[in-house]
Amino acid sequence: MPHDSTTAAPLRVALNHGNFLLVGRDEAGAAKGISVDLAHAFAASEGREPVFVDYNRAVDVSSSAEDDAWDVCFLAVDPERARTIAFTEPYVRIDGSYLAGPDCTAEDAHALVASGEKVGAVRGSAYSLTLQRKPGAEALELYETLQMALEALDRGEVQALAGIRQAMMHEAETRPGSRLLAPPFMEIRQAMAMPQGRPEASARLQAFLSEALRDGTVGDILERHGVSRDCAIVPA
CATH number of the domain located at residue range(s) 95-186 in this protein: 3.40.190.10
CATH topology agreement for domains 11-92+188-231 and 95-186: yes
Q: Over 70: is that where the pLDDT of 47 sits?
A: yes
C-beta of residue 42 within 8 angstroms of C-beta of residue 88: no
The pLDDT tens digits of the residues spanning 124-161 come to 888 898 899 999 999 999 999 999 999 999 999 999 99
Distance CA 157, CA 162 (A): 14
Answer CATH for 11-92+188-231 from 3.40.50.2300, 3.40.190.10, 3.20.20.70, 3.10.180.10: 3.40.190.10
Identify the weakest region by mean pLDDT among 4-13, 145-154, 215-224.
Answer: 4-13
Q: Where are the alpha helices (DSSP H) in 101-232?
A: 109-115, 126-131, 146-155, 165-174, 199-214, 217-224
C-beta of residue 123 within 8 angstroms of C-beta of residue 143: yes
- The domain ranges of the chain are 11-92+188-231, 95-186
C-beta of residue 159 within 8 angstroms of C-beta of residue 100: yes
Residue 5's pLDDT is what? 47
Distance CA 18, CA 161 (A): 15
Instruction: Provide the pLDDT confidence category of residue 218 given band limits of 50, 70 and 90.
Output: very high
